[in-house]
Amino acid sequence: MFSIKNQAKQKFSWIALGWALLFFWFFSTALQAKIFISGYSGTNGLRDSLLYSSLWLIPVFLFPARTRIIAAVIGVVLWATSLAAICYFVIYGQEFSQSVLFVMFESNAGEAGEYLSQYFSLKIVLTALIYTAICLFLWSRLRPVYIPKPWRWLVSLIILYALILHPLVRNAINHQPLSKTVSGLSSRMEPAAPWQFISGYYQYRQQLDSLNSLLNENNALPPLANLKDENANTPRTLVLVIGESTQRGRMSLYGYSRETTPELDTLSKSDKGMTVFNDVVTSRPYTIEILQQALTFANEKNPDLYLSKPTLMNMMKQAGYKTFWITNQQTMTERNTMLTVFSRQTDKQFYMNQQRTQSAREYDSNVLAPFKDVLADPAPKKFIIVHLLGTHIKYKYRYPENWGKFDNQTTGIPAGLSDDQKEAWNDYDNANLYNDHVVSSLIKDYKATDPNGFLLYFSDHGEEVYDTPPHQMQGRNEENPTRHMYTVPFILWTSEKWQAEHPRDFSADVNRKYSSSELIHTWSDLAGLSYDGFDPTRSITSPEFKETTRWIGNPYKKNALIDYDTLPFGDQKGNQ
Ligand SMILES: [Zn+2]
């Protein structure tokens, strides 16, 4: 028996639904909208945060009479977690991601205290107050959303099915392992409060397990036999700079018509310590896959040696170097566990990029300050690896706004490209321009310490940016290889002190055909290291160098290896 008043009250109201949606969306979406508007990331985070915040409608639909209480309980949890993420964004200008959690779990109490002390700034207090006031206002507007009895269950089930059950069922049908489904789902839920904490912790535990087992295996490897260092205990600093997605053909240093590398151009003309190698290619067009070869004894014919033999980092440590890893790459993501393993093989790490996705705005100038700090470290023998984000997609996110030198230019762009493709072409050149600045700054900062040693820069792989006719391909694909995906810059800078001690003329070596998968032999040769397994015929700088087939392709696939030199010339000028 309902009174007329009660019946009116229990009518479905779109306005009530609107307020409920606004209330639950607000917590995660406020930050995602801010991130999107400020141009730091795409729309995926915004979309997922909207979708997964809608889950909270279910209890509100099911128990409309208790709307305020339910919303208050959920709201407090959402408010606390989202406020933490917002404060983090205000302080660091970065999204609170699982990598941040990773760093927090890993950092010692002192660093954590330092982190917390930064919360107490006026800006933070004001942000928190305004944010809380909006939350309270939205809560005060909440009214029950009455959906007639059988329908409210159906609507709730539909929401639950669409967001959670459907991915589970679909992957079960496709025989995907449950762990993959869970991690896929949790990465989509990550932008929505409070899931970033729950999924962050889950992913942290998973990665820690695989990380630790890989590190334990590496620790248990026997060291290199008969390791000798011809430089004995002479103080020195050696630097390896690893670039990202930078193909040679779009650098003026290698003859590109646009001036994309003015600083390296100048260095190569004015500094006799600079040697530019012209014909180095990568074996695989993917970061992890190539570094598993370049930084180890693995190559296309023996792809698993990265697990069973010491790595470059192990080798340098064994030779008595204090070793450092400075990276602007995302490190603590599932895909990048191997990068984290490599970095942990050094004595000290600097993780400068805590972004949740690779395509988020982050500049390589991040590495310059820690690089200077490490150069000042008192250890007599230092080995520094700097891993850049280089010219990785999204190209636009790799350089500050005032570096858009090639914006709206048309010269040198092949005919038939759409406006979006032209923009990508120009953005890639802008990214190269900024990469030139970062790499040159590293060389100059290193040079300024009057070091004894050398710096080697190479890009992990190239990138196809509509270069190859019919100019419609962008990115990298091992199944459909083009030369531009494989050609990489390879540059050596030696200091005056080093040249005096090691008078070597590289001018006859610069046109040698070389694969970066054999890098460890070049590095050993340059550093003066020898050991059982060192092969000078695989060092581009050795008088004993022998040219061999440069295999490319997936070594784990049957008959997939092909000779790089059989790839068709794709450049419009035909000169790649
Ligand atoms: Zn890469």
Tens digit of pLDDT for each residue in 102-161? 666 655 444 455 555 555 678 888 888 999 999 999 999 999 989 888 898 999 999 999
Compute the distance between CA of residue 422 and CA of residue 407 in angstroms, rounded to an integer: 9
Ranking 4-13, 106-115, 241-250, 482-491 by mean pLDDT, the lowest is 106-115
Q: How far is the CA of 556 from the centre of ligand 1 (A)?
A: 19
More confident residue, 464 or 48: 464
Model pLDDT, residue 532 = 97
Task: Give the range with max mean pLDDT: 76-85, 180-189, 337-346, 531-540.
Answer: 531-540
Compute the distance between CA of residue 235 and CA of residue 239 in angstroms, rounded to an integer: 14
The predicted model scores a pTM of: 0.74
Mean pLDDT, all residues of the chain: 88
The string of pLDDT tens digits covering residues 155-210 is 999 999 988 888 888 888 888 888 788 878 877 887 777 777 777 777 777 777 88
Q: How far is the CA of 447 from the centre of ligand 1 (A)?
A: 27
The mean pLDDT value for 546-555 works out to 96
Q: How far is the CA of 244 from the centre of ligand 1 (A)?
A: 5
Model pLDDT, residue 572 = 44
Q: How far is the CA of 533 from the centre of ligand 1 (A)?
A: 28
Q: How far is the CA of 437 from the centre of ligand 1 (A)?
A: 19
Q: How far is the CA of 496 from the centre of ligand 1 (A)?
A: 32
Model pLDDT, residue 518 = 98
Q: How far is the CA of 256 from the centre of ligand 1 (A)?
A: 21
With residue 385 as reference, give the H or E element that holds it: strand 381-387
Compute the distance between CA of residue 262 and CA of residue 253 in angstroms, rounded to an integer: 8
Pairing of strands 514-515, 274-281: parallel
Compute the distance between CA of residue 197 and CA of residue 104 in angstroms, rounded to an integer: 12
The mean pLDDT value for 358-369 works out to 85
Model pLDDT, residue 171 = 84
Instruction: For 277, list phi and psi in degrees, rounded to 5.
Output: -90, 135
Residues whose CB falls within 8 Å of the CB of residue 326, separated by 6 or more in sequence, listed in order: 349, 350, 352, 367, 370, 371, 374, 384, 385, 386, 387
The mean pLDDT value for 280-292 works out to 95
Pairing of strands 236-243, 228-229: unpaired
Q: How far is the CA of 392 from the centre of ligand 1 (A)?
A: 7
Q: How far is the CA of 491 from the centre of ligand 1 (A)?
A: 17
Model pLDDT, residue 274 = 97
Q: How far is the CA of 54 from the centre of ligand 1 (A)?
A: 36
Q: How far is the CA of 242 from the centre of ligand 1 (A)?
A: 9
Q: How far is the CA of 243 from the centre of ligand 1 (A)?
A: 8
Q: How far is the CA of 364 from the centre of ligand 1 (A)?
A: 14
Q: How far is the CA of 138 from the centre of ligand 1 (A)?
A: 45
Model pLDDT, residue 224 = 97
Q: How far is the CA of 293 from the centre of ligand 1 (A)?
A: 13
Q: What percent of the chain has pLDDT over 70?
A: 90
Task: Give the range with max mean pLDDT: 37-51, 353-367, 418-432.
Answer: 418-432
Q: How far is the CA of 286 from the centre of ligand 1 (A)?
A: 5
- Work out whether the CA dihedral 207, 208, 210, 216 comes out positive or negative: positive
Q: How far is the CA of 396 from the centre of ligand 1 (A)?
A: 16
With residue 59 as reference, give the H or E element that holds it: helix 57-62
Model pLDDT, residue 574 = 40
Pairing of strands 236-243, 454-459: parallel
Residue 170 vs residues 52, 186, 421: alpha-carbon distances, Å: 18, 16, 35
Q: How far is the CA of 461 from the centre of ligand 1 (A)?
A: 6
CB distance 366 to 354 below 8 Å: no
Q: How far is the CA of 460 from the centre of ligand 1 (A)?
A: 5
Model pLDDT, residue 340 = 87
Model pLDDT, residue 570 = 66
**pLDDT-derived band at 221, boundaries 50, 70, 90:** very high
Q: How far is the CA of 339 from the centre of ligand 1 (A)?
A: 11
Q: How far is the CA of 214 from the centre of ligand 1 (A)?
A: 21
Count CB-CB contacts under 10 A for residue 473. 18
Model pLDDT, residue 500 = 96
In the predicted model, is pLDDT for residue 492 greater than 50?
Answer: yes
**pLDDT-derived band at 275, boundaries 50, 70, 90:** very high
Q: How far is the CA of 42 from the centre of ligand 1 (A)?
A: 20
**pLDDT-derived band at 479, boundaries 50, 70, 90:** confident
Q: What percent of the chain has pLDDT over 90?
A: 62
Q: How far is the CA of 433 from the centre of ligand 1 (A)?
A: 18
By C-alpha distance, which of 236, 200, 245, 464 is closest to 364? Answer: 245
Q: How far is the CA of 289 from the centre of ligand 1 (A)?
A: 9
The mean pLDDT value for 359-363 works out to 78
First to last CA, the chain: 84
In the predicted model, is pLDDT for residue 219 greater than 50?
Answer: yes
Model pLDDT, residue 255 = 96
In the predicted model, is pLDDT for residue 81 greater than 90?
Answer: no
- Work out whether the CA dihedral 398, 404, 408, 414 comes out positive or negative: negative
Ranking 52-66, 100-114, 387-401 by mean pLDDT, the lowest is 100-114
Model pLDDT, residue 376 = 97
